Copies of this chain bind each other. A is one copy, B any other.
Amino acid sequence: MKAATIDFWFDFSSPYSYIASEWVEALAARHGRRVQWRAILLGATFQVSGLQPPANFPMKREYLFRDVRRSAAFAGVPIAIPDPFPIATQNAARVYWWLQAQDPLRAVAWARAGLRAYFTRGVNLMDIAQLKALCSEAGLDADAAESAWNDPQWKAALKSANDAAIAAGVFGAPFFMIDGEPFWGNDRQQQMEAWLTSGPPRGLD
């Protein structure tokens, strides 16, 4: 029997998704689970939910940068807030789904490479030259990757992933689903661990 999954929705431009991407596999392994990574565009969920990126609000943006750095430090994850931030990440996300159809492990390796490159070295995933260089560095055929992100098939695959996320109630990232229970945010790690260990807390029907 296949291990039950933890669904993990992320956007390549989401710093809390990056932090979570560094602990989610270990969390799953501790509980005999498999992680289903799902690259999405938060922009698509924002359109439907009516929400906006937190960095659009100056007061929240200032706190966000501090909290991201502090949350990363507490999680033991290196981070440098990139500039520009945020960026549009549809090409990186299409590469994810292109790889996912061929070899899910390579797709996850790409997701981690992309998140780490943007959030530790400021590699701009929106910049074609930088994205192609990162593809090569990650052992991919950069021209094939570029063809993939321009291919209607992988554009449709990403759109379909966004639509499925929205249908599942996803309005932010990282977003997780464990046996039908939704968890939003890097800061839900502790609740997810408790849920995986013991199920719902007493008093929650």
Interface residues of A in 66-81 (CB under 8 A from B): 66-67, 69-74, 78
**Closest B-chain residue to A48, C-beta based?**
B59
Is the C-beta of A150 less than 8 angstroms from some C-beta in chain B? no
In the complex the two chains form, what is the Cα distance from A70 to B74 in whole Å?
23
Contacts of A190 in B (CB 8 A): 74, 190
Query: Binary interface profile of A, 53-89, with partner B (CB < 8 Å = 1, else 0)?
Result: 0001111101100110111111000100000000000
Contact A202 B73 (CB under 8 A): yes
From B71, B169, B172, B204, contact of A73 by CB (8 A):
B204
> Distance (Å) between the CB of A182 and the closest chain B CB?
6
Query: Binary interface profile of A, 162-205, with partner B (CB < 8 Å = 1, else 0)?
Result: 00001001011000000001101101101100100000111110
Is the C-beta of A120 less than 8 angstroms from some C-beta in chain B? no
Is the C-beta of A51 less than 8 angstroms from some C-beta in chain B? yes
In the complex the two chains form, what is the Cα distance from A171 to B70 in whole Å?
18
Contact A57 B171 (CB under 8 A): yes
Contacts of A48 in B (CB 8 A): 59
Contacts of A202 in B (CB 8 A): 73
> Distance (Å) between the CB of A63 and the closest chain B CB?
6
- Interface residue SS majority, chain A: helix
In the complex the two chains form, what is the Cα distance from A118 to B63 in whole Å?
29
Contact A63 B171 (CB under 8 A): yes
Contact B191 A70 (CB under 8 A): yes
Contact B171 A60 (CB under 8 A): yes
Contacts of A71 in B (CB 8 A): 191
Contact B60 A204 (CB under 8 A): no
From B70, B73, B184, contact of A67 by CB (8 A):
B184
Contacts of A73 in B (CB 8 A): 200-204
In the complex the two chains form, what is the Cα distance from A172 to B59 in whole Å?
10
Given contacts A60-B51, A187-B185, contact A78 B171 (CB under 8 A): no
